[in-house]
Structure formats: C-alpha cells, structure tokens
Amino acid sequence: MKPHDTSKLFLPVGKPNTTILSLAALLNVASPYPVAFFVCIVFLLISLRFFQNQRKLIFP
C-alpha cells in the first residue's frame, strides 16, 4: 500500500467511518492469529460502548 492511502484513515478524526476502517485494517493484520482476532473483536465491543459514553472527552 502507498503511504498516501494509509494517511487517509487518520485525517478525518471526527468521523466514525475512520474507526471502522482502522479496525478493519487491524483485523486484516490479525487474521492469521485467531487469538489476536478474538481480542480485536472484544476490543471493538468494549470501545464502542466506551465511545458512546465518553464521546465528549475524546471529541471535545
């Protein structure tokens, strides 16, 4: 991948789509490892609840 393509994931911070894209990239990296894949899914569920409760702190 080009560095320009990866930089697009982190430019618009406020949009929730970037979180989905970055998590999809993490899942692509962790796909050969089932344990890491499971941890990423658990982290996704925890982070979604955390972002719903603490959105004002993360995105002021």
| Domain ranges across the chain | 23-55
Q: How far apart are CA 24 and CA 13, in angstroms?
A: 16
Rounded CA separation 53/5 (Å): 31
In one-letter notation, the amino acid at residue 31 is S
**Confidence class for position 2, pLDDT limits 50, 70, 90:** very low
Is pLDDT above 70 for 55? no
| pLDDT score of 53 | 64
Confidence of residue 3 (pLDDT cuts 50, 70, 90): very low
Question: 8-47: b or e for each residue (b if 16 or more CB lie within 10 Å)?
Answer: eeeeeeeeeeeeeeebeebeeebeeeeeeeeebeeeeeee
pTM reported for the whole predicted model: 0.31
* Integer Cα distance of 39 and 27 in angstroms: 10
pLDDT in tens, 15-45: 556 666 777 777 676 556 677 677 778 888 8
